[in-house]
């Protein structure tokens, strides 16, 4: 990943070294919380004066607070508006205080990012919206959304990707990877809810790749089965039939035969226009409209031009600073325990021809 030069310079201007500034950028962007061990992992230093000097500095400047957990361990919360303003992300919710489960999830995310600094991340909500809507032409209504209602005025605000799980590109790969964070849930209900929330987005993507992150491997196989059962579905609609229906509706609309349209037909035409906006079969529409090619030709051509959809699942263990939260942390680190669960890619038509997929916070004052 790359660190924005202006952000690092601004953090150095607050009195931090370049290494400290880069670490604080990662914390502010991805987690809001960190431990001394994570700082040492990033800098490659040994425990001692350097880590103590850093934590004393960030606390002394009023940029973070410390929370005492098990085994006299400490978690630091980077909350200061000044720090977030320095990187141009003053309104990130990472500034807010959270409960233990949320803190644990954030530490897991930071562990993952520190282990994969060679990845390129979609760091903010706007980065993700721009990628899916502008680059992939995904309709905004397909993005996972949560609506907030203001206490005063009853105005609503839609927020996207509120879980803030990492989305990344592996080196030399153009395909985005999704993640899910399991901080030690008792069951897979949260994962199921997550899949439903992302269902419409998954349904319109040609490649769906998800990495399940946890501190223990006990639910990897069950999560894999759930993911495949909900995402790796054979589309109910033939792409050739949808292309032909799109051509027929489009021709009727262009020739102003509005009496043939019901409200459902108009909605379907709008949907199909979005789906086929960049599909290569568009080049054949004029020939079909003029009777130069047959219906069968269009159906066969569209099936041939529709790329194969890929769906894959993998899992990965992260430390998650478990010793700070678990009375009996799992310390197994052998290769058998850390083996990733993977699946072969599926071979179905890619979206947009798939079926529908149903679908203690307190602001800290500026320091």
Q: Which residues contact 367 (CB under 8 A, 6 or more apart)?
A: 62, 63, 79, 80, 81, 82
CATH 1.10.10.10 domain residues, the chain: 5-98
Spatial contact of 38 and 107, defined as CB atoms under 8 Å apart: yes
**CA–CA gap between residue 37 and residue 50 (Å, rounded):** 12
CATH tag, 5-98 = 1.10.10.10
Spatial contact of 356 and 142, defined as CB atoms under 8 Å apart: no
Q: Which residues contact 196 (CB under 8 A, 6 or more apart)?
A: 230, 357, 358, 359
The alpha-helical segments, DSSP class H, found in 234-262 are 239-254
Please choose, from the candidates 209, 206, 204, the residue with its C-alpha nearest in 3D space to the C-alpha of residue 166. 209
Please choose, from the candidates 188, 166, 69, 52, the residue with its C-alpha nearest in 3D space to the C-alpha of residue 108. 166
171-to-64, 109, 121, 144 alpha-carbon distances in Å: 33, 19, 11, 26
Spatial contact of 231 and 208, defined as CB atoms under 8 Å apart: yes
Query: Residue-wise pLDDT tens for the chain (367 aa)?
Result: 889 999 999 999 999 999 999 999 999 999 999 999 999 999 998 877 888 999 999 999 999 999 988 777 899 999 999 999 999 998 888 888 878 888 999 999 999 999 999 999 999 999 999 999 999 888 898 999 998 887 776 788 889 999 899 999 999 999 999 999 998 888 999 999 999 999 989 988 889 999 999 988 999 999 999 999 998 765 557 788 888 999 999 999 999 998 888 988 898 888 888 778 778 888 899 999 999 999 999 889 888 877 778 899 999 999 888 777 776 656 544 333 444 555 545 444 444 333 333 333 334 444 5
Spatial contact of 329 and 322, defined as CB atoms under 8 Å apart: yes
């Amino acid at each position: 990943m790359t660190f924005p030069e202006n952000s690092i310079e601004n953090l150095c201007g607050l009195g931090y070294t370049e290494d400290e500034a880069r670490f604080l950028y990662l914390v502010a962007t991805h987690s809001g919380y960190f431990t001394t061990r994570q700082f040492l992992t990033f800098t490659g230093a040994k425990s001692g004066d350097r880590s103590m000097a850093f934590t004393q500095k960030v606390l002394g400047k009023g940029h973070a607070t410390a929370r005492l957990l098990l085994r006299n361990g400490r978690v630091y919360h980077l909350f200061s508006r000044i720090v977030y303003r320095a990187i141009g992300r003053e309104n990130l919710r990472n500034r807010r205080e959270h409960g233990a489960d949320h803190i644990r999830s954030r530490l897991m995310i930071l562990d993952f990012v520190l282990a994969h600094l060679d990845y390129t991340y979609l760091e903010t909500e706007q980065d993700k919206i721009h990628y899916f809507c502008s680059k992939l032409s995904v309709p905004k209504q397909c993005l996972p959304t949560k609506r907030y209602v203001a206490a005063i005025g009853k105005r609503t605000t839609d927020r996207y990707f509120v879980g803030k799980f990492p989305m990344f590109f592996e080196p030399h790969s153009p395909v985005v990877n999704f993640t899910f964070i399991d901080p030690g849930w008792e069951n897979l209900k949260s994962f199921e809810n997550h899949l439903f929330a992302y269902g419409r987005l998954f349904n319109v993507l040609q490649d769906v790749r998800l990495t399940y992150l946890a501190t223990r491997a006990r639910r990897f196989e069950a999560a894999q089965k759930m993911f495949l059962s909900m995402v790796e579905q054979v589309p109910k609609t033939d792409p050739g039939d949808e292309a032909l229906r799109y051509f027929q509706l489009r021709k009727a609309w262009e020739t102003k035969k509005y009496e043939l349209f019901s409200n459902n037909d108009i909605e379907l035409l709008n949907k199909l226009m979005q789906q086929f906006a960049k599909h290569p079969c568009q080049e054949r529409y004029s020939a079909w409209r003029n009777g130069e090619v047959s219906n069968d030709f269009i159906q066969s051509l569209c099936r041939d031009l529709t790329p194969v959809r890929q769906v894959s699942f993998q899992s990965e263990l992260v430390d998650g600073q478990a010793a700070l939260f678990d009375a009996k942390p799992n310390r197994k680190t052998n290769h058998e325990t850390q083996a990733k669960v993977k699946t072969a890619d599926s071979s179905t038509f890619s979206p947009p021809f798939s079926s529908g997929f149903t679908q203690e916070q307190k602001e800290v004052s500026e320091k």
